Amino acid sequence: MRDLKAVGKKFVHVMYPKKSSALLRDWDLWGPLVLCVSLALMLQGGSADSKDDGGPQFAEVFVIIWFGAVVITLNSKLLGGTISFFQSLCVLGYCVLPLTVAMLVCRLVLLAGSGTVSFVIRLIVVVAMFGWSTLASTAFLADSQPPNRKALVVYPIFLFYFVISWMILTFTPQ
Amino acid sequence: MATVDDLKFQEFDDAANLLAANPDATTISIDEPVEIPKNQHSRLQEPGREEDDELLGTDDSDKTELLAGQKKSAPFWTFEYYQTFFDVDTYQVLDRIKGSVFPVPGKNFVRLYIRSNPDLYGPFWICATLVFTIAVSGNLSNFFIHLGKPTYHYVPEFRKVSIAATAIYAYAWLIPLALWGFLMWRNSKVMNIVSYSFLEIVCVYGYSLFIYIPTAILWIIPQKVVRWVLVMFSLCLSGSVLVMTFWPAVRDDNRRIALATVGTIVLLHALLAVGCLAYFFDAPELDFPAPIIPAHNGTVNKITMPVSPSVQ
């Protein structure tokens, strides 16, 4: 129960990002795991003419999120960051929450129809959530970097969330 | 210059007046060690770093090589060893990218920008960006080309990302490895003045791929002429960076080997660009991609059945 409360508190922190060392200190990976699995599940069921042309499979989404988070963490540590390995993984994983919400909204919008209007709505939602994710994770992670390398650390985070947003936006149902 | 008169006792004048009379005099303050020569040197460094390096020539590069040797002394199983490859600031990365996009004729990219501080940040993240840019642009371009057709059903083509990743990372790491091995081998036979370390070659190749990122975005435009003009343009720019880097390393060698090496470098670079264009971007008017890719032993390989007459 205490763990659930901690996870819930972190979700709230991500939605209203303000710098708080409490989030960074008590890292946990339950939240990222839940978010990653639900995002990967929601990205299933996409259309595919052949196996080669469809959207990402469950394992691919999983690997992209975890491998991407590990690479970004290694990158920030190699550039001289002071944050610990698991704290960084924790923050990057939790900041996938806005994009998971976007995926949920997209699937609901796609139930209503898949024309141009639905695409425009999905585009706006995904872009907004992508901006939110990037800003939330930057707010937590940027302070632990040396000041003249901040852009070098923020850019891979931007790329990471961009790739996830692209996967969400290009999801087309059967 | 001290004359006999100067050696007589003089009233201690105000330091400011003395300095005004003789502005270039070395001043020493009691609490600090003599720092003026270093300050002048660094003041010269900041605005005109590149010219300074060219003027000082071997002097400065000796010093930086010595420092580099000291820098990388951590054993390879520690984390600090790998941190030495990421010892770059934002402005340095931006400078190197700028150097790869605007090649200055006569100036060597490695000597000018890398200066014994090769980094792995640029090559790795430029390749990653390029992979995703090509995959996303290809997908978008195919979507726009086939938009009006009634039988077209959009697919995200996610498999192509892994193919793009394999191709681009293999190019950016295996070709430098082969080139480094080749240059080392020739170095043992012919006394070359310029030799590059493996990481410097990886660095040059990585940064030279940057120009393909905006090129890939512009390839969304579904006009064949535009695409081929873009290929030529970006090939010229990044190819010239590569040629200007590697020509000094091979020019003392046998003429034919030197030309063959430089020619192979440019050809492989062209092959990468044309291959990406052919595989990820459908042709605008036809349903089948129909470019002819020449292999570098001179024979022509057709990859699909072309509608237009083949080039022989």
Where exactly are the structural domains of chain A? Answer: 31-37+54-171
Q: Mutate which of A52, A57, A84, A170 to test chain B, going by most B C-beta atoms within 10 A?
A: A170
- Tell me what pLDDT residue B36 has: 42
pLDDT in the model for residue B117: 82
Q: Is B91 on the interface with A (CB under 8 A)?
A: yes
Give per-residue pLDDT as tens, B209-247. Answer: 999 999 999 998 888 899 999 999 999 988 888 888 888
Residues with Cβ within 8 Å of B304's Cβ and at least 6 positions away in sequence, in order, are B288, B289, B290
pLDDT per residue over B294-306, tens digit each? Answer: 555 555 444 444 4
| Residue B160 pLDDT | 84
B152 close to A (CB below 8 A): no
Angle at B235 between CA B233 and CA B239, to 5 degrees: 130
Name every chain B residue with its beta carbon within 8 A of the beta carbon of A77. Answer: 79
Asked if the Cβ–Cβ distance from A80 to B89 is below 8 Å, we say no
Question: Residue A78 is nearest to which of B83, B89, B154, comparing CB atoms?
Answer: B83
What are the tokens at A72?
């970004």
Chain A interface disruption, residue of B158, B169, B280, most A CBs within 10 A: B158
How far does B157 lie from chain A, in Å, by closest CA? 4
The torsion region of residue A80 among left (phi > 0), alpha (psi -120 to 50) and beta comes to: left
**Please, which contacts does A112-116 make with residues 24 or more away whose CB atoms are closer than 8 Å?**
A114/A172, A114/A173
Q: Which of B35-39, B113-117, B288-292 has the highest mean pLDDT?
A: B113-117
Judged by CB atoms closer than 8 Å, whether chains meet at A167 and B93 is answered as no
| Cross-chain Cβ contact A156/B125 below 8 Å | yes
Give the ipTM: 0.88
For B225-276, the three-class secondary structure string (H helix, E strand, C coil) is: HHHHHHHHHHHHHHHHHHHHHHHHHHCCCCHHHHHHHHHHHHHHHHHHHHHH
The chain A residue lying nearest B129, using CA atoms, is A159
Joined together, the tokens standing for residue B151 give 């039988």
d(CA A157, CA A150): 11
Distance CA B15, CA B20 (A): 8
When pLDDT is averaged across residues B13-20 and rounded to a whole number, the result is 56
Task: Find the chain A residues whose C-beta atoms sit closer than 8 A to any C-beta of B.
Answer: 46-49, 52-56, 60, 75, 77-80, 148-152, 155-156, 159, 162-163, 166-167, 170-172
Q: According to the per-residue pLDDT averaged within each range, which of A50-59, B13-22, B136-145 is highest?
A: B136-145
Contacts of B89 in chain A (CB under 8 A): 148-149, 152
- CB contact B198 to A (< 8 Å): no
Compute the distance between CA of residue A10 and CA of residue A21 in angstroms, rounded to an integer.
12
Q: Mind telling me how many Å the CA of A31 is from chain B's nearest CA?
A: 26
What pairs with residue B293 in β-bridges?
B301
How many angstroms separate the CA of residue A145 from the nearest CA in chain B? 11
End-to-end CA distance of chain B: 78
**Set of chain A residues whose Cβ sits within 8 Å of the Cβ of B153:** 47, 49
pLDDT > 70? residue A103: yes
For residue B286, pLDDT over 50 is answered with yes
- With 70 as the cut, is the pLDDT of residue A30 above it? yes
Q: At B20, is the pLDDT very low, low, confident or very high (cuts 50, 70, 90)? A: low
Of chain B, the percentage scoring pLDDT greater than 90 comes to 20
Tell me the C-alpha distance between B124 and B205, whole Å: 11
User: Which three-class secondary structure state does DSSP give residue B300?
Assistant: strand
* Residue linked to tokens 């901006």: A131
Residue pLDDT, tens place only, B144-197: 888 777 777 777 778 888 888 999 999 999 999 999 998 888 888 877 667 788
Could you tell me the pLDDT band of residue B288, with boundaries at 50, 70 and 90?
Answer: very low
Is B82's pLDDT higher than 80?
yes
Are B183 and B265 a contacting pair, CB within 8 Å? Answer: no
Measured in angstroms, the CA of A148 and the nearest CA of chain B are apart by 6
Report the residue of chain B nearest A169, measured CA to CA. B156
Burial of residue B196 (CB within 10 Å: 0-12, 13-18, 19+) is buried
Q: How far is CA B157 from CA A53, B7, B54, B220, in A?
A: 4, 86, 49, 16
Q: What is the pLDDT of residues B123-134, one digit of tens each?
A: 999 999 999 999
Q: Are A32 and A90 in contact (CB under 8 A)?
A: yes
Q: Of A3, A136, A163, nearest to A67 (Cα)? A: A163
Query: Within a 10 A sphere around the Cβ of B205, how many other Cβ atoms?
Result: 25
CA angle B140, B146, B150 (to 5 degrees): 135
Q: What are A160's two structure tokens?
A: 């990471």
Assign B13 to helix, strand or coil. coil
Please state, rounded to an integer, the average pLDDT across all residues of chain B: 74
| Predicted TM-score of the model (pTM) | 0.76
DSSP letters, A10-50, are HHHHHHS----HHHHHS--SHHHHHHHHHHHHHT-SB--SS
**If you count them, how many residues does chain B have?**
312
Alpha helices by DSSP H, listed for B3-151, are 15-21, 36-45, 49-56, 58-71, 79-83, 90-101, 109, 121-145
First to last CA, chain A: 39
Which chain B residue shows the shortest CA-CA distance from A68?
B128
Q: What are the C-alpha distances in Å from A90 to residues A13, A62, A69? A: 13, 15, 9
